[in-house]
Amino acid sequence: MNFFYCKKCVMPSTKPNFNSLNKICNACNFHIEKNKGKKKIDWVGRKKEFLNLIKSIKKKKSPFFDAVVGVSGGKDSIAQVHHLIQQKLRVLAINVDYGFKTEIGVKNLNLIPKMGANLITFRPNLKIHKRILKISFEKYGDPDLMSHCLLHAFPIRTAIQFKIPLVFLGENSALEYSGDKNINNKSMSHQWFLNYAANGNLTPKNFSKKFLIDYSFMKNYDLPNKKELFKINAVFSSYYFKWSSEVNLKIAKKYGFNSLKTNSEGTYRNYHGIDEKINRIHQYLKFLKFGYGRATDHACEDLRNGKINRDKAIKLVLKYDRVKITKYFYKDFIDFIGINEKSFFGILRKFTNNKIINKVKKNEFN
Ligand SMILES: [Zn+2]
């Protein structure tokens, strides 16, 4: 196992889709290129492109709505809605709710209709979703395995059904966190879905086959075929607007976005991943499997943006990444999938990569 930390940020090489050059991760390389290097992004040009896109969408005079945004009620989704309502588009926001929302998450979600968008909450078939969650957690150590697919696919399928021409997605994680070289990638594709929503070959179709779940009950989790997908424009908002947690937070706050009073468990920020509980299990498992958690993600972002230095980033990672998960985040989940606490922690242990965790414990970031 070739374990090392990026020389610029604090991301370990065990991160999935981690690519590097001379021990500098591609996310850092990309960050430099797009801000100062040869591939410096012309944000004024991108804004023009956005305005042209809006014009073309308005021209389509779609029957009900102009755009779909998948929303959690988090600051990023509120910022996405903001960019569209400012252009006077008729927005349909779609929230996928499996029943694990936090109180603050519900409060923030309720801001969306008040902003001037329409909101529908989609509650997936919980008989099916419960099976999916249980299998994903027990066999793959990731309760969110198929949920990421559903969050991306369902709004796109809805847009096609209602003849809504635009789907305004969040950040392109391939570019922002994995340093995908193609910075002009602005649309959702099957390849992107395979790599960054699904887990490689474990598409919803393959999952349904493998675990004998009728695929017609899982179609909502899957992207439509290419021909269908091309009927709409599913684009990443981070292509048009510089992706920044801080900027999005500022926008969201204008609409009354609520943060926690203290930091959110597993990181030092108080406004990130606060809308539902299962994500905390996903993030904690990420730490046990790959040696980095939510605090690392946030410290890397702050480091790249020059808000903190590397020493400070290391301190934050050491303090927050390894914080043990508390009952508040797993109790509803284990009750729902029908396992006890002992089995829950047994599964966490099963997926812990001790080799990585032992290295992480040595605190050697060089
Ligand atoms: Zn890096």
SS (H, E, C) 194-218: HHHHCECCECHHHHHHHCCCCHHHC
Q: C-alpha dihedral over 36, 39, 42, 46, to 10 degrees?
A: -140
Ligand 1 centroid to residue 321 C-alpha, Å: 17
**Residue 3: half-sphere exposure toward Cβ, Cα within 13 Å:** 17
* pLDDT digit string (tens) for the chain, length 366 residues: 688 999 999 999 999 888 888 999 988 988 888 888 777 889 999 999 999 999 999 999 999 999 999 999 999 999 999 999 999 999 999 999 999 999 999 999 999 999 999 999 999 999 999 999 999 999 999 999 999 999 999 999 999 999 999 999 998 877 777 766 665 689 999 988 888 888 778 899 999 999 999 999 999 999 999 999 999 999 999 999 988 889 999 999 999 999 999 999 999 999 888 899 999 999 999 999 999 999 999 999 999 999 999 999 999 999 999 999 999 999 999 999 999 999 999 999 999 999 888 887 776 776
Helix, strand, coil shares of the chain, percent, nearest 5, are: 50, 10, 40
119 Cα–ligand 1 center, Å: 37
Give 31 Cα–ligand 1 centroid separation in angstroms: 9
What is the distance in A from the centroid of ligand 1 to the CA of 301? 9
Output the CA 147–ligand 1 centroid distance in Å: 27
- CA 303 / ligand 1 centre spacing (Å): 9
How many A from CA of 259 to the centre of ligand 1? 28
Please say whether the beta carbons of 163 and 63 come within 8 A. yes
Beta-bridge partners for 91: 67
pLDDT (0 to 100) of residue 233:
96
